[in-house]
Amino acid sequence: MIQRLCVIGVGLIGGSLARSLRSAGAVGSVIGCGRGQPNLEAAMRLGVIDEFTSEPAAAVAGADMVVVATTLGATGEIFDKIAPAISSHAIVTDVGSAKQRVIDLAKISFADAFPRFVPGHPIAGTEQSGVEASFAELFRDHQVILTPAAQTDPAALAEVEQMWCATGAIVTHMQADQHDKVLAATSHLPHMLAYALVECLASTDKTDNVFNYAAGGFRDFTRIASSSPEMWRDIALDNRAALLRAIGQFQTTFADLRTALEREDGDALRQMFSHAKSVRDRALTPRSK
C-alpha cells in the first residue's frame, strides 16, 4: 500500500496510474500537481486525485511515492524543485521515454538522495492526452521497463516494481543505454516516420485532396502522428543520438527499396517484403496458449 502518492503531471500516464492503483486498492491518498488548473479540476471531478497544487515542492511534502509524469523537457526543472522537499523515506520515479538523460538529470538534482530515484518507462499509451483520456486498464499486460543505476537502492527498486505490478503490468529491467537504443528503433523512429509522412502529404498540391482518400492502412500507420507534439519534440531531442542512428539505418534500407523500384527489380522487392512479413509475423503474432 502506498499511503500517499504524488503524481506530478496528471495526464494520460499519470492519471491512468492513479486510477489503476485505486482500482487495485494499492494506494491511500493521491495528490496531483500540474500547471493546468482545468486539467487538475477535471482529475478531482473524475476521482483520479484527492487534492491538487501547482507547486511541486508542496505536492511532494509527506508523500512516500512520487511519480514524475511530465514531458521530458520539464523533468529537470521538476527534479530541481522537489529535491529539497522530498522526505527522507520518499521514493521518486518517472515515466520518461529516454532514460539516460533522465538519470543524468536526477544525479545532479537529488545528489545524496539519488539512490531513492528509480527510473522507469511504461510501454503503453494512446495518441490522446490529458486526464480525461486516462483509464485504469492502460498498463494491463503491457511492459514497464525499469532502468536502475548502479547506485539505485534495491528496496526502492522493489517498491516501484511492486507498484507497477499492482497495475497489471509486466515489469522488466534493462540498462538505460540499451533501453534508449531499443526504444529509438521501436517507438521513437515510428513516430518520426508518421509525423514525416503526414507532413510530406500535407505539403503536396492541395488540389490533390489526398487525405480524402485515406483508407485504413494510412489511418493505422499515421494514428500516432496525433500524439502530443511537445512530448515527442522532447523525446526526439533527449534521445537524439540513438534516434539519429535509427534514422540512418532506416534511410539505408529505404534507399535499397528505392533502388529496387528504380531498377524495376521485382525479385528484390518481393524478397524484402517477404522477409519483413516473416519477421513481423514471427515477432508480433500472439502465440496460442
206-236 pLDDT, tens digit each: 666 778 877 888 889 999 999 889 989 999 9
Short-list 73, 80, 24, 37, CA closest to 56: 80
Could you state, in order of their start, the residue ranges of all structural domains in the chain? 2-174, 178-284
pTM listed for this prediction: 0.88
Distances (CA, A) of 137 to 23, 69, 173: 9, 17, 22
Q: How far apart, in whole angstroms, are the C-alpha atoms of residue 69 and residue 205? A: 40
Tell how many helices (H) and how many strands (E) occur in the chain.
Answer: 12, 9
CATH architecture under which domain 2-174 falls: 3-Layer(aba) Sandwich (3.40)
pLDDT in tens, 1-25: 899 999 999 999 999 999 999 999 9
Average pLDDT over residues 69-84: 95
CATH code that applies to domain 178-284: 1.10.3660.10
How much is the mean pLDDT over the chain? Answer: 94
Per-residue pLDDT, 286: 67
Per-residue pLDDT, 208: 66
- Do domains 2-174 and 178-284 share one topology? The answer is no
pLDDT in tens, 244-272: 999 999 999 999 999 999 999 999 999 99
pLDDT in tens, 158-207: 999 999 999 999 999 999 999 999 999 999 999 999 999 999 988 876 66
